[in-house]
Each structure stands twice: as C-alpha cells, then as structure tokens.
Amino acid sequence: MYESIVITRYGKIAEVALNRPRSYNAFDLEMVTALAQGITSLATDDTVRGVVITGRGKAFCAGGDLRWAAQSPGKASATFHTLIAQFHLAVLEIRRMEKPVAAAVHGIAAGGGFSLALACDFRVLGASAVLMQGYTSRGLCIDGGGTFTLPRLVGLARALEIAAFDEPIPAEKALQWGLATTVVPDEEVAGEALRLLERIATSPHSFAWSKKLLTDAFETPFEAQLEAERRAFGRCADHPDGQEGLKAFLEKRPPRFGG
C-alpha cells in the first residue's frame, strides 16, 4: 500500500518502518503523508495492541528532506507549511492513540526524527544511536511537537540547552537525561522494542486511560484532573479487564486480560 513506509505485523504488535534508506529516512511529503495514514490505520485496528516505529537502513530518521524542499516550487514557507501539516497529523495520532508506541532508534535521529522519537511513549536506543534536535543550527525552530515533549521529558533548563547548543546526544547521555527508556546493543534494538511492548503488564483498556490522563495532565487544572481520574477509574472498574484484575487480586493469581 505504501512505498516510503513498510508495515509489518508481529502477532499483536505492528512495526512501522520508515523506508527511504538512501536519504537516511528523511521526510518528504510522500513519506509523512504515508506515515500519518499508516499510523491512523493502526490506531483504529482492534487486532493491534502496540506499535513500533523504526527506520530501514543505517538511521532512524534524519528529519526533513532539505534537498527535496529546496527543489519544491514556490516559497520555502509554503513547502514546509504543507510538509509539517502532514507530519503533525502523524504526531497527533501517536499521542492520541490508545495503544503504546515505542521508537526503535538506531543511527541518527535528528530534526523531525528527533521529534518523532520524543512523541512516542517509549524510546529504545541502540548503543551507537545519536539524538540531535538539528533545527536551530540550521536557522530553523523545532516542530513535530518537540517544544512540547522535550521540556516535559528533561525540564525547561535542559531543553533550552539542547535548543541553544544543538550538540549530538549519545545514547548513554540520552538515557541519563530521560530521553531514552533503555539502551541496548545495536543489533537488539528492534527486538527489544517488540519485547518491551509485549511486557506491558497493564490491560489495553487501563493503559489507554493512563496514557490519556498523563498526557492531559500537563494542560489540566488540578481539580479537573482529579475529576477526570475519578471518572476514568469508574470506567476501568466496570470494564471486563477491571473486573478480571479485581477478581485476580482477591484470588491471588495473575490477571488474564482479554482487552
């Protein structure tokens, strides 16, 4: 269905691979459009319980394809306006998706690739992976939700440091700063991302509510957040997964969630 992305199923986990390896998976309009459509299709697929995003070839994603942008007719602002609109659709779908999303990062994740990785719920980095925001050193500003996710992951002071100096962030430093969930040998990145999603102990229903509540908490007043938690807790308790979890606790056995 798509050429610039490849979707592969591993049981209940779907892998979305960016597939422009010659350009280090840099975004052009075709790719970001396909990415948005592909992620949307997986978000609404009831047989999918989690999504891994990765890149083919030597890199996760080098960001926007500046060569493609330079060859596009019209003003640069119009070209990037269209490109970023599609990119943001993909990012929004990742954040709104009720399922867990993990980035499997090898090689470089820069620019839009950096923001795409930050938009995911989890980030598995290869030992030689490098993160780099890559915008400001080219006279541009961060997009892809990076200005939202970055300070929430590392704090405002660290985010400003990353924006101001734009230095490469090796995998181990990314782990220390809270930008990575785990770091593994390069050859184990894709497999570890799959295993991470398979290890999630919560039910799909309770994960969906937890992700929504935690994401919304940054923009919700405290009293409104408490009310949202109360309502969500009631819905989880009435759901078959909640009923199974409570029964399993009383019977002192692991729950068997059906979703």
| Sheet hosting strand 169-170, strand order edge to edge | 108-110, 130-132, 169-170
Q: Which of 55-64, 73-82, 232-241 has the lowest mean pLDDT?
A: 73-82
Q: Where are the domains of the chain?
A: 5-199, 204-250
Domain spanning 5-199: CATH superfamily: 2-enoyl-CoA Hydratase; Chain A, domain 1 (3.90.226.10)
Same fold, 5-199 and 204-250: no
pLDDT confidence of residue 259: 56
pLDDT (tens digit per residue) in 106-143:
999 999 999 999 999 999 999 999 999 999 998 889 99
Q: Indicate the burial class of 221 (C-beta count within 10 angstroms; 0-12, 13-18, 19 or more).
A: exposed
- Written as six digits, the tokens of 209 are 């509510």
Q: Which of 95, 96, 97, 115 is nearest to 105 (CA)?
A: 115
Average pLDDT over residues 67-77: 77
Q: What is the pLDDT of residues 46-70, one digit of tens each?
A: 999 999 999 999 999 999 888 877 7
If 0-12 CB within 10 Å is exposed, 13-18 middle and 19+ buried, where does residue 157 land?
exposed
Domain 204-250 carries which CATH code? 1.10.12
- Please state the length of the chain: 259
Model pTM score? 0.92
